[in-house]
Amino acid sequence: MNKTVLITGATSGIGLGCARKFAENGDKLILTGRNEQKLAEICRELTERGCQVLTLAFDVRDREKAKQSVNGLPEEWKAIDVLVNNAGLALGLEPEYEGDLDDWETMIDTNIKGLLTMTRLVVPGMIERGRGHIINVGSVAGDAAYAGGNVYCATKAAVKALTDGLRIDVADTPIRVTNLKPGLVETNFSNVRFHGDEARAKKLYTGIKPLTGDDIADVAVYAANAPEHVQIAEVLILATHQASGSVIVRK
Q: What is the spatial distance between Cα 165 and Cα 161, in angstroms, rounded to a whole number?
A: 6
Q: What is the spatial distance between Cα 216 and Cα 236, in angstroms, rounded to a whole number?
A: 10
Going from the C-alpha of 93 to that of each of 81, 97, 121, 171, the distances in angstroms are 37, 11, 32, 38
Of 173, 150, 159, 151, give the one whose Cα is nearest residue 84.
Answer: 159
Q: What is the spatial distance between Cα 24 and Cα 220, in angstroms, rounded to a whole number?
A: 13
Q: Give backbone dihedrals phi and psi of 32, rounded to 5 degrees, phi first.
A: -120, 155
String of DSSP letters for 139-189: -GGGTS--TTTHHHHHHHHHHHHHHHHHHHHTTTSS-EEEEEEE-SB-SSH
Q: Give backbone dihedrals phi and psi of 54, rounded to 5 degrees, phi first.
A: -125, 135
**Non-local CB neighbours of 47 within 8 Å, separated by 6+ positions:** 53
Q: For the chain, what's the residue count?
A: 251
Q: Which of 97, 146, 152, 222 is catalytic?
A: 152
In the annotation, is 152 catalytic? Answer: yes
Is residue 178 packed enough to be buried (19+ CB in 10 Å), middle (13-18) or exposed (0-12)?
buried
Q: Which residues are catalytic?
A: 152
